[in-house]
Amino acid sequence: MPKKDILITEEGLENLKRELKELLAVRRPEVISRIKGAKELGDLSENAEYSAAKEEQSFVEGRIQELEEVIKHAKIAHTNNGSNGSINIGTVVTVLVDDEEAVFELVGPTESDPAKNKISIDSPVGKALLGHKAKDKVAVETPDGKIQYKIVSVA
């Protein structure tokens, strides 16, 4: 069964490629070196450094596999960056929620980072906003009930 394309912005794909390069060129060799050094200390059954290095190796290798898979199936989302006024992946949206302004960028699911105001197009808010324009009102169903978003601007 073929893997589904993963929508991502061009910037997001470049960030993933940079992270993969860092893992392959820096982190993986560092971990291998730590494991080698810990082995030289002797008894591995009570060697905390060896255990920690092996755990980190597992994380690094898992992340490398994950990134390779995402990059392999990544499909750059052609954004209009709000040029036609409608919300799409890659657009920056300003909304009013309960008289408070919020600004965020809609991104692919692998780029989502709410702390950096990047929300996924697959999230309830992202799905609800897609295709809408400035001045539209959008209701989003949440566990706490419906929340009304008024779109102020799309860039």
Domains of the chain by start residue, with CATH: 6-76 (1.10.287.180), 92-154 (3.10.50.30)
Choose among 92, 78, 99, 80: nearest CA to 134: 92
Helices (H) and strands (E) in the chain, counts: 4, 7
CA distance 17 to 31: 20
Residues 6 or more apart in contact with residue 97 via CB below 8 angstroms: 147, 148, 149, 150
CA distance 124 to 141: 7
pTM, two decimals, is: 0.76
pLDDT in tens, the chain (155 residues): 456 888 888 888 999 999 999 999 999 999 999 999 888 877 767 778 888 999 999 999 999 999 999 999 998 887 655 456 789 888 999 999 988 999 999 999 889 999 999 999 999 999 999 999 999 999 998 888 899 999 999 98
